[in-house]
């Protein structure tokens, strides 16, 4: 699944995901996201979900890992462009507040 990474501003990273984020694709996306989080520039990370038709629990779990890593380095994580399904999955995991959905 394609993942596009943009350094929009010096400390602002934007990742655009394209395709499903589920148990099949989560291992690769996780690797890429962890790399980006470790990147010095990414103090705040925005992930764009507008091209993600389906978010599974595996994807939600990876987001938790990314959030944890971002918080640890004092940064922030923002999710944008979530469709209904993605929002429902996050809420079903009772993480709606944490991800502000």
Partner 1 sequence: MSSHNMIEIRGLDSHYKGRQVLFNIGFAIPHKKVTVIMGRSGCGKTTLLRHLIGLKPSESGRVFVEGQDMGSFDEKGMANYRRRIGVLFQSGALFNSLTVSQNIAVPLKVHTRLSDETIRIMSLIKLHLVGLADFLDYMPSQLSGGMRKRAGLARALAMDPEILFVDEPSSGLDPITAAGLDDLILELRETLGMTIIVVTHELESAVKIADQMVVMDRGNLLAVGTPDEIRSSQDETVLRFLRREAEEQQVNTESYLSRLLGRQYKAGENSTRRQGGVR
* φ, ψ dihedrals at 8, nearest 5°: -75, -40
**Partners of residue 21 on adjacent β-strands:** 55
Among 62, 77, 82, 86, binds partner 1 (CB under 8 A): 62
Q: What's the residue count for the chain?
A: 101
x/- letters, 80..99, toward partner 1 (CB under 8 A): -----x--xx-xxxxx----
Residue 4 binds partner 1, judged by CB under 8 A: no
For residue 3, what are its two tokens?
A: 């993942």
Looking at 47, 49, 56, 99, which residue binds partner 1 (CB under 8 A)?
A: 56
Count CB neighbours of 69 within 10 A: 18
Residues of the shown chain interacting with partner 1 in the complex, contacts defined by CB under 8 A? 22-24, 26-27, 30, 56-58, 60-62, 64-65, 85, 88-89, 91-95
């Amino acid at each position: 699944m394609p993942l596009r990474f943009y350094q929009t501003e010096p400390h602002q990273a934007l990742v655009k995901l394209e395709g499903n984020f589920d148990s099949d694709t989560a291992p690769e996306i996780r690797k890429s996201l962890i790399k980006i989080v470790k990147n010095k520039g990414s103090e705040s990370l925005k992930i764009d979900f507008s091209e993600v038709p389906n978010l599974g629990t595996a994807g939600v779990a990876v987001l938790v890992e990314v959030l944890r890593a971002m918080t640890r380095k004092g940064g922030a994580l923002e999710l944008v462009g979530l469709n209904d399904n993605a929002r429902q999955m996050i809420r079903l995991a009772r993480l709606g507040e944490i991800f502000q959905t």
